[in-house]
Amino acid sequence: MIKPKKREQTDIRLVQLNECLAKTIRTEFGIAAGMSVEKHCRIVGYVAKALIGRMPIWLRDSLFPAGSELIAAVHDIGKVSPTFQEKIYRDIGPKLGIVDAGLDETIGYHWAVGQASLAGYPKYIPEIVGRHHGITPQNVEAPNARIYGGESWQKQRVMLVQNLREFFGVEWPKVTTSLQADVLSGLTVVADWIGSGNVLEKVECDNFQKLIPEALDRAGFVAPQIRTGLTFEDIFDFVPRDIQIRLSDAIDDSGVYVLEAPMGLGKTEAALYAAYKVLEAKRATGIYFALPTQLTSDKVYERMNKFLKQTLEEQDIHRSALLLHGTAWLRDTELGEEGLPGHSWFNSAKRGLLAPFAVGTIDQALMAVMNVKHGFVRTFGLAGKVVILDEVHSYDNYTGTILKELVAALRQLQCTVIILSATLTDKQRYSILGKQLGEDVKEKCSAYPLLTTYVKNELQELALAGVGNALVSVCLVRNDMDAVEETLKRAERGEQVLWIENTVLEAQERYCLLAARVAGMDIHCGLLHSRFMRIDRERNEKKWADIFGLAGRDIRQDRGRILIGTQVLEQSLDIDADFIVSRICPTDMLFQRIGRLWRHRENDTLRPTEAKREAWILSPCLNEAIIDVTRFGKSAKVYSPYILCRTLEVWEGLSFVAIPDDIRGVLERTYAERVETGEMVKLKGILEQERDKLHRFALIGISTGGKTLPESKASTRYAEMPSVEVLLIRRKTAENSGTGIRFTDGLEVKIPKFVDAKMRRKISAEILRHTVVVPEYLAPEFGMENLQWLSEYAYLGNREEYPFRLAIVSESGDLSETAAGRMLEKYDLSYDPCLGYRAVKKKGLCDGDQE
């Protein structure tokens, strides 16, 4: 029999529980010791309890069982470990000398220790504690393993858990599902952030409870005050259409509601009014309005602001302060530790999910069901809200699989889900709802417009009143230059023209050509895409969306205009063109683009007398494209060549489309299953293989097993490349008191070595306004060691992701090398306020641009 080793040989020397520190604090004089682990745990537990207390009873009863605050309280028990204490004491002064501080990383940090320490505790609780830093620990050892300190350190951790149970006077909650575990994980993380924020970080006495309401208020967790008894006309100042009332009348419980109606028929107002009725009835905690792109979310944000000013009481802080966009919101709210500048959740795109009202992209909502760092914080943020998913149509099997999982999760999270689309097929609608065609439906309804309700597992389809048809002339054009000449002719006689490309590079090239051609003419030319610095994007988008929108009615006849853009122009934008040129794309997207044509009928009397309601589609000949898909150009890298061929086949036979009557039929003819012959057999086979692959990849992405992905590496759309933020400046100077930077617009900012929290947020918000988001492969190469002067103002990443870069922009617009990033060997990089961020293949290299 082998004798056990003596404790002094197996255990690491103890630091007493009351001397175990949770953190350090930064002062003007350097790093100092912060509060103890036990005190911090008590604070976080109370924050969690207060957060739950601010939720409606129906949400608490459904998702937050009694004792949930205890899970949040024990989140940091892993800090009672020799490696963490060695590291923290090393930072504030003399080393403890009991272990190598570098082992903290080797063993998976303190959150791995925390998960190990709770082995044998009720189901899900160890995992919730283990991932309170956003990721799931890998290869966790036994709780009394020597690398965690041995038996004596484990006894101290058990003692801490017992102390906290007695302090809060509760037992462990019963967690019944993995989704509920995600919600409680989100609660734990947010409570930890707030408990580590400025309000509670340096509290010296035990009477910290009185500070918690202030901390929650500053973080934005304040219940909205809804004005009651408002009609549709009170809110929007116009008489509603039938569909806008039918949707709100149909919503009588949490569930999923799919509204299919033509472009320009007011689906956004229908969804917002329905959301208002749900909020008025106290059946939701807020609204998250999710859109396909940043541009569409920016414009809906303005409409949401007007909506909130009408529906919230005047004294309600949410009327303007806590929406997703704007630097004011970033400056004036304090989410806590991870929401500080220099941390990943200072980013407003993420934080909006935690605010009662936010407008953002669908990507953030999709990550709520993916194995992504802090994905479950998004799950927590969406619980109990009205979630509006706008412009849901032809997502590929990858995004479609994630979307289906999201909708199923939102139903369990007590959400009211409103899905809006002008261009769904029957198959897509049923797939999103997790149904097969005909399942639970005695007779499928193909009416259009259509309202589908899925409540308490009962699915119903309601035909809505039809609307008058509009005939749109369609012309397929083989030669781009013919379209260029037609565009110039139309603009010269005063028409407002949209030209939509499928890639950023092609949109930039078309803009350069047309801008050069209209030089000296009384024609304005503009460009919109995703690769502008925020400050330029906001200005460009406001200018052009206003000109082509209702706000531009008074100046519409001043001159002709040409607006070139990418897919950002096709969805959720209330813009009106006299003539449209579009690169070939799938049928549903073509209809979306055509939906911008003669959208505002009140403008009909302002259009030039020669104007025709017409769309030109740039496309190759079908027979040639089937044999050689490169005829589609870069579009074949963006969309499936098989779907492009099916689309082209349908549209080649059309000279007019009647909107809305033709929408359903043209869509079904494009996507209907059929047996193929000839070359189309091969193209369909490639698509089916791709669909199967994308479905499998999506299942991996939503699986809770395996390694958690960094947020910048997690794709919600398979064709997307990982992206990064690039800060563009004119120059950088080192000074004794800090670093000075000059932005490309001439603004100068000083980055001090020490600054108070409010000024730090202000500087960080300004830095974010001067960044541009680009695919990682088109960004300057990275050098984190030379960006540390920005570490408290921008999230630089970690060992797994490097989402931030820096480049100097010369007066000519070329990006030059800095100590923080080298330029690329294959591309010439440049930036121009009119063109945006540009990456052009260097001469002699083949064109591999995947834009």
Tell me the C-alpha distance between 641 and 639, whole Å: 6
Instruction: Write out the two tokens for 742.
Output: 């000059």
* pLDDT value of residue 844: 60
Q: What is the pTM of this model?
A: 0.86
Q: Would you say 722 and 712 are in contact if contact means Cβ atoms under 8 Å apart?
A: yes
Determine contact, residues 580/562, Cβ cutoff 8 Å.
no
H/E run at residue 183: helix 178-195
Kindly give the pairing relationship between strand 458-463 and strand 836-841. unpaired
3-state helix, strand, coil in the chain (%, to 5): 45, 15, 40
- For position 715, what pLDDT does the model report? 58
Please tell me the distance from the alpha carbon of residue 404 to that of residue 395, in angstroms, as a whole number. Answer: 11
- Residue 564: predicted pLDDT: 97
Q: What is the mean pLDDT of each run of 10 residues along the chain (851 residues)?
A: 44 88 77 88 96 96 96 95 89 81 78 92 93 85 89 94 96 94 95 86 74 88 93 94 91 92 88 96 94 67 86 78 46 62 63 82 84 88 95 69 89 95 86 73 71 91 85 96 97 96 95 95 94 90 87 89 91 84 94 90 89 96 95 92 94 93 91 91 87 66 63 56 85 82 91 76 85 88 73 76 85 79 80 93 58 42
Q: d(Cα 164, Cα 38) in Å, to the nearest integer? A: 8
**Two structure tokens written together for 802:** 């490097």
**Among 467, 468, 431, which residue's Cα sits nearest to residue 450?**
467
Q: Letter for the amino acid at 120? A: G
- Count CA within 13 A, CB hemisphere, residue 473: 9
Question: What pLDDT is recorded for position 337?
Answer: 63
CA separation for the pair 425, 650 (Å, rounded): 15
Residue that the structure tokens 């000296």 belong to: 520
**Paired tokens of 180:** 């509920």
Q: Which residue has 């119903």 as its token pair?
A: 460
Q: Which CATH number fits domain 7-219: 1.10.3210.30, 1.10.3720.10, 3.30.530.20, 1.20.1070.10?
A: 1.10.3210.30
Identical fold between 7-219 and 470-659? no
> What architecture is domain 232-463?
3-Layer(aba) Sandwich (3.40)
Place of tokens 């959150």: 111
Return the bridge partners of 386, or none.
287, 416
Q: What is the pLDDT of residue 431?
A: 86
Secondary element (H or E) of residue 484: helix 480-492
Q: What is the 3-state secondary structure (H, E, C) of 388-453?
A: EECCCCCCCHHHHHHHHHHHHHHHHCCCEEEEEECCCCHHHHHHHCCCCCCCCCCCCCCCCCEEEE
Give the three-class secondary structure for 499. Answer: strand
Rounded Cα gap, residues 129 and 770, in angstroms: 37
Tokens 């100097």 identify what position? 808
Residue spans of the domains in the chain: they are: 7-219, 232-463, 470-659, 721-841
680, 682, 729 from 675: Cα distances, Å: 9, 12, 56
Answer whether CATH 3.40.50.300 is correct for domain 470-659.
yes
Three-class DSSP category at 310: helix
Strand-pair category, 738-743 with 748-752: antiparallel
- The C-alpha atoms of residue 189 and residue 74 are separated, in whole angstroms, by 12
Best CA proximity match to 71, nearest among 145, 15, 121? 121
The answer to whether 496 and 556 have CB atoms below 8 angstroms apart is: yes
> What residues contact 592, with CB distance under 8 A and at least 6 apart?
263, 391, 393, 422, 423, 570, 571
The predicted pLDDT at position 442 comes to: 46
Distance separating alpha carbons of residues 381 and 367, to the nearest angstrom: 12
